[in-house]
Amino acid sequence: SCAILLDIADEQQAKQIVSHYPHLPKGASVIWPQQRDTFIYHNQAIWPFVTAFWLRAAKKVENAPAVTLGISSLVRGAALSLSNMENFDAVTGRVEIDSEHKEPQVNSPRQLWSVAGYLSMIHDIIFGLTWTDSGIRLAPYITREFRNHLLPNSNQLVLKGFPYRSYQLDIQINLPPVTEEMAGAYTLGEIRLNGQGITSEITEAMLSDRNLVEVDLVEGKTETSPLNLVNNLEDYRYRFAPRPPIVESITAIDEQLAIRFNLNGENPDEVTVNMYRDGELVAKGLSGNLKSWRDHNSQGTRSPSYCYNLETVYITSGTTSQPSQPFCYWGSNSERISYVNADQFSAIGGQFSEGHGRKHFENWGQPGDSITVNLKAQLNGRHAIQVVAGNGAGAINTGITCAVKHLQMKNLQNSQIVADGYLMMPQLGSWERWLESSVIFTQIDLIANQDYEIKIFSDAQAINMSSFAHNANYTGGNGGTEAYNYVNIAQIKLNALT
């Protein structure tokens, strides 16, 4: 919806986004397709505030079926739960379903963002209120299907006592008579302000203390827009994506690279496999019965450090898995990876420790702390830099203390900066867990056997959410009362890409 509302998508793309996105009978789910073995929360869920943004996007492209379904979803959810709930199961529309675990995992009544979403439906869609620099425009978007199903006995819709700056507005929409036609939406007819017809926006100069705005809707086009409605939800292949496949190994065989993989429990007769090399599709529709695939455009051990990932596709529905974790070829014995461990760091701040399963500097990460290493490039060409880090400051799926540090690499012969960027090291739930950071690529080719220096430090940009005054009262973990940007770094890795 944001791509449409922020004009990132052009008009044709915007229409395609709304019409192609899979809708369920109870509304548009937050994500599509749903993920196997994942609890209902964002997965297989309808969130009213998300639906409200989707409604605005659907109105913008004049997709009447999408607007009708979105309105019905919000009205139904609030009416049956007697509150503005946080979320709903996308399949049943219920606030809780019968399962081994409570699902959705988290759900609460009286949610202000859900209230705001419902009000947006009324103000932005049904009454069509738009605020400009100089006043108000009205462009109600009421579909025939919505009117016939939910308002068959109503001739008027009234928004009474709507406050606009120091003024009060009573807005009255006059509906056309009900007909058997269900397609499309009504068209804007005449607008009257205090009995006088107007053709422009309503400005402050036109208003009295109390005002009556009358809007006549008239019969217009009965053309409808397409909508991708998924009804066969009992078939898991239409509701869910396949589980992402797993790359097991990459080996050089007969001057080619052979990628061995498994389907992560999916039925091989139900899926096909797509293969990507460095993000580009290189093989499509491979049989699910394959155990490995050879890249005929590779050169065995002479291949660049290609990274491969796969996706699987259900044959009957076309739903596609998440990409597998990338698996890269670093040479027959990983000789393209060089590294420096913590016992070789020159560190300012923290205390050297062998706890949590790896050598590192504990309590490192305050402003002024730094880690510096000197190393030689083993090979010519571009390189990727990562660190192996531990961040047990909180769970991986929440919190405000993802560690962020600045990394620079320079050529010690001429002091030229050859790599410059910021490392992201997320919370991992435990200090015992170690994971590779985000990647920083060298800006130029490194020279084999040349001496380089890597320095990791803090600066004004190396901050996380705990630095923001907005989170001063955060009580969900570290951060809040003061900035927290600590991280344990065990290893710096230099990966040759050629």
- For residue 258, give the CATH number of its domain: 2.60.40.10
Specify whether 60 is located in the same domain as 171: yes
Specify whether 342 is located in the same domain as 321: no
Query: What number is the average pLDDT over the span 1-22?
Result: 97
Specify whether 22 is located in the same domain as 139: yes
What percent of the chain clears pLDDT 70, i.e. is strictly above it? 100
- Categorize the per-residue pLDDT at 208 as very low, low, confident or very high, splitting at 50, 70 and 90: very high
What pLDDT digit, counting tens, does each position of 308-340 carry? Answer: 999 999 999 999 999 999 999 999 999 999 999
Can you give the CATH number for the domain in which 184 is found? 2.60.420.10
Specify whether 298 is located in the same domain as 441: no
Bridge-based pairing state of the strands 488-496 and 383-390 = antiparallel
Specify whether 145 is located in the same domain as 29: yes
Give dist(CA 113, CA 118) in Å, integer: 9
Specify whether 285 is located in the same domain as 381: no
* Plot region of 350 (φ>0 → left; ψ -120 to 50 → alpha; else → beta): left
Tell me which amino acid residue 258 is: A
What pLDDT digit, counting tens, does each position of 112-154 carry? Answer: 999 999 999 999 999 999 999 989 999 999 999 999 999 999 9
- For residue 326, how many C-alpha atoms fall within 13 Å in the half-sphere facing its CB? 13
225 domain residue, yes or no = no
Q: pTM of the prediction?
A: 0.87
The pair of structure tokens assigned to 252 is 């050089």
User: Last residue of a domain, which of 328, 352, 386?
Assistant: 328
228 domain residue, yes or no = no
What pLDDT digit, counting tens, does each position of 237-275 carry? Answer: 999 999 999 999 999 999 999 999 999 999 999 999 999
pLDDT for position 160: 97
Whole-number mean pLDDT of the chain? 96
Report whether 391 contacts 402 (CB < 8 A).
yes
* Plot region of 67 (φ>0 → left; ψ -120 to 50 → alpha; else → beta): alpha
Specify whether 154 is located in the same domain as 278: no
Closest CA to 160 of 208, 213, 226: 213
285 domain residue, yes or no = yes
pLDDT for position 155: 95
Specify whether 56 is located in the same domain as 203: yes
Closest CA to 30 of 49, 17, 16: 49
224 domain residue, yes or no = no
Per the structure, the complete domain to which residue 170 belongs is given by: 2-218
What pLDDT digit, counting tens, does each position of 31-71 carry? Answer: 999 999 999 999 999 999 999 999 999 999 999 999 999 99
Quickly count helices (H) and strands (E) in the chain.
7, 29
Specify whether 324 is located in the same domain as 383: no
What pLDDT digit, counting tens, does each position of 335-371 carry? Answer: 999 999 999 999 999 999 999 999 999 999 999 999 9
Give dist(CA 237, CA 52) in Å, integer: 28
Residue 25 Cα distances to 61, 65, 96, 252, 498, angstroms: 21, 11, 17, 50, 51
Specify whether 288 is located in the same domain as 360: no
